[in-house]
Structure 1
Amino acid sequence: MKLAITLTTLALTVATSLYSGKNQDWQILFDGRSLDGWESNEETANVFSITANGALMVEGGRAHLFWLGLDQTPATFTNFELRAEVKTTQNSNSGIFFHTRFQEKGWPQYGLEAQVNSSHKDARKTGSIYALKDVLDVPPHPDDTWFEYTIRVEGKSVSICIDGTEVNSYTEPENFIPLENRPTTRLDSGTFALQAHDPKSLIYYRNIRVKPLPLTE
């Protein structure tokens, strides 16, 4: 009996260790319960809220919600894989910024934007790396249905997947010349931000998590 208990305890310890190891790489940014670690620039107040079922609702005028970090999860990322579940509604627009930094108002000037848009009039649809390499006119998902958005950055390369299928990829050229109106739109390092685009847009996010990746030479 003693041996059986010892073996059972050992098995549970190993299983727990394996399970923890599997999940340690992923860091939760939004768990559906609080916005700890996030800060809105409040350009328009009260546009980010948590629904009863644990989704982050983005509705109202222009504002951006920036990840500023917690003790165990930093606010600066270079190479990473970000995953979020997203649901768009009709004629709505949003975006996930990465390699960005907090600013009090206006469209974020640093980093890149992964577009979130199925039916908004903007021709740049979900999967677009905004203004650098766009997915035009035909969205890779319908409105009113949850989908998984994956952004993976390694060095100067970005891969965008929707529900596990790559819909866009981009590599920043060695002689990259930034857009004239966006001189700091380039791959570097920084944090994440979620966009509230306009008063008529309604977007939902949930299960936002990130896995830091090793630096590349």
Structure 2
Amino acid sequence: MKKNILSLTVLVLLATSCGAGQTEDTSSEETVTVQSTSNETEGDWTILFDGSNLDSWKTYNKESLGAAWKMENGVLYLDSSEKEGRGDLVTKDEYSNFHLKLEWKISDNGNSGIMFMVHEDEQFRHPYVTGPEYQLLDDEGHPDGKNLKHRTGDLYDMIQATEEASNPVGEWNTTEIIVDDAKLTFKLNGVTTVETTMWDDNWKALIAGSKFKNAEHFGIYKKGKIALQDHGNNVYFKNIMIKEL
């Protein structure tokens, strides 16, 4: 669903971060302004989530959206207290060269991620079998934070972020993932944390040195879906947009 817009104002309630199994505390109000460009040089943003609907998303390997993913006050979030309707969320469309931008926050001791170039097929049980991951984590509270390739802004288990730039748990962060003719760039709150080239010999070496070394379909696809991970902890997203390059 494409929307060519100059500005979009969304009223949302700013949530303080919740632990797994809790719903969002909507205790204070903020105004979020999303701005995009629409011209021949920069192209058009496609709004994947603006708080109004979830038409661009579904549960991985399913036709519908699981009940554990909820929309409230302009925020998309995983309610980990739900026992049914769980699973990773994926876009209905696939992307090759793109600029993805979104805002997120994690719960106390929480773990999640954003995967890309995800290949959806019944032979794969989870998006991480094919799609590389931009890690989202409570770096200080979650045990994975002790692994220097598992912290926020890392290319999960492959490249450590050049700089740590995440905000404290409970505060919103802005993430950008850019794939442009095999060049991969991660940004966190305006700071570039990862730059590498996909699908070359170095990329293959990074995979061979990671936990995905035996996953023959990992990191090979040049077009795929965007995935938001259900890792069992509450995680919150808003203002999700993508621009095809």
TM-score normalised by the chain length of structure 1: 0.75
Residue of structure 2 in register with 1:10 after alignment: none
Residue of structure 2 in register with 1:186 after alignment: 219
Flag the structure with higher strand content.
2
Matched residues, number: 187
Residue of structure 1 in register with 2:144 after alignment: 122
Which letter maps to 2:71?
I
Which letter maps to 1:148?
T
Q: Does structure 2 retain, via aligned residues, the 8 Å contact 1:50–1:57?
A: yes
Which of 187, 191, 194 does residue 165 from structure 1 map onto? 191
CA 1:45 to 1:30, structure 2 compared with 1: closer, same or farther past 3 Å? closer
Q: Does structure 1 retain, via aligned residues, the 8 Å contact 2:43–2:244?
A: no
1:21 aligns with 2:38: yes
Q: Does structure 1 retain, via aligned residues, the 8 Å contact 2:106–2:236?
A: yes
Quote the Cα distance in structure 1 between the aligned partners of 2:230 and 2:177: 19
Q: Does structure 1 retain, via aligned residues, the 8 Å contact 2:165–2:188?
A: no
CA 1:103 to 1:136, structure 2 compared with 1: closer, same or farther past 3 Å? farther
Segments of structure 2 that go 5 or more residues without pairing to the other structure are 1-5, 7-35
Deviation at residue 153 of structure 1 after TM alignment: 0.9
C-alpha offsets along residues 179-204 of structure 1, whole Å, 9 cap, x if unaligned? 42322222511110110102xx1110
Residue of structure 2 in register with 1:205 after alignment: 237
Deviation at residue 82 of structure 1 after TM alignment: 0.3
Quote the Cα distance in structure 2 between the aligned partners of 1:99 and 1:155: 13
Across the aligned residues of Structure 1 and Structure 2, the Cα RMSD in angstroms comes to 2.8
Quote the Cα distance in structure 1 between the aligned partners of 2:240 and 2:187: 15
TM-score normalised by the chain length of structure 2: 0.67
Flag the structure with higher helix content.
1
Higher relative contact order structure (alpha carbons within 8 Å, sequence separation ≥ 6): 1
Quote the Cα distance in structure 1 between the aligned partners of 2:87 and 2:162: 25
Residue of structure 2 in register with 1:96 after alignment: 114
Which letter maps to 1:110?
T
State the percentage of identical aligned residues. 28
Structure 1 segment 15-164 matched on structure 2, within 5 A: 21-22=38-39, 25-41=44-60, 45-51=66-72, 53-60=73-80, 63-68=87-92, 75-103=93-121, 105-119=125-139, 120-123=142-145, 124-135=150-161, 140-164=166-190
Quote the Cα distance in structure 1 between the aligned partners of 2:192 and 2:227: 22
Segments of structure 1 that go 5 or more residues without pairing to the other structure are 1-14, 69-74
Which letter maps to 2:171?
T
Q: Does structure 2 retain, via aligned residues, the 8 Å contact 1:152–1:160?
A: yes
